[in-house]
């Protein structure tokens, strides 16, 4: 299974592609989509949409996962990040991929073992887990972390989704148990 992880951002959106075979994870690719800060919002969102679409065409993932937006002190920043995230999700669902969502806390717990891990710890553990020759950039490392988190969570979610009909009210929707 090939998994695409996305770390959304208005200036820089990170992406990471990994393959999961059994319990083994293999690095395929990672990088960033940069929009700059001088350009108006609509063209920047278009760049994110086009960039993610190109990554999907190039690596043909089976599924995708994206980091959830957190609410920060500045509501305007949160709104802008949400729009960048929306552009990325639009590209993913436009390619008919299932999209799972994880909080930064969930990603850090899956990769480092603690939700309070620093960015440098995430970078280091991503490099170790995927046997990379060096540290990926922070945005790419976060995106790879999202993909790793989904790789660890996917089987459990699929099992719960399969059991859900017997429970009556639970089902799988967009990679989440509802």
Q: Is 62 part of the annotated catalytic residue set?
A: no
Per annotation, catalytic residue among 67, 98, 101, 142:
67
Per annotation, catalytic residue among 62, 98, 120, 139:
139
Query: CA 146, CA 149: separation in Å to the nearest integer?
Result: 5
Per annotation, catalytic residue among 7, 98, 101, 142:
7
Q: Is 7 part of the annotated catalytic residue set?
A: yes
Q: Which helix (H) or strand (E) holds 71?
A: none
132-140: long-range pairs with CB below 8 Å, 24+: 132/27, 136/16, 136/30, 137/14, 137/32, 138/14, 139/7, 139/9, 139/12, 139/13, 139/14, 139/32, 140/7, 140/14, 140/15, 140/16, 140/30, 140/31, 140/32
Q: Is 67 part of the annotated catalytic residue set?
A: yes
* Token pair in block for residue 11: 């200036």
Active site residues: 7, 67, 139
């Amino acid at each position: 299974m090939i998994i695409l992880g996305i770390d959304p951002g208005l200036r820089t959106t990170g992406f990471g592609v990994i393959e999961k075979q059994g319990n083994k994870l293999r690095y395929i690719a990672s990088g960033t989509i940069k929009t700059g800060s001088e350009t108006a919002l609509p063209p920047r969102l278009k760049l994110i949409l086009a960039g993610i679409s190109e990554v999907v065409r190039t690596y043909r993932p089976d599924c995708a996962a994206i980091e959830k937006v957190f609410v920060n002190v500045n509501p305007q920043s949160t709104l802008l990040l949400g729009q960048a995230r929306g552009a990325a999700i639009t590209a993913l669902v436009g390619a008919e991929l299932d999209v799972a969502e994880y909080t930064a806390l969930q990603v850090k717990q899956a990769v480092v073992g603690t939700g309070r891990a620093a960015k440098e710890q995430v970078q280091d553990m991503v490099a170790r887990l995927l046997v990379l020759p060096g540290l990926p950039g922070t945005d790419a490392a976060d995106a790879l972390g999202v993909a790793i988190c989904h790789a660890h969570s996917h089987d459990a979610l699929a099992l719960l989704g399969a059991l859900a009909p017997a429970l009556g009210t639970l089902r799988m929707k967009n990679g989440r148990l509802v």
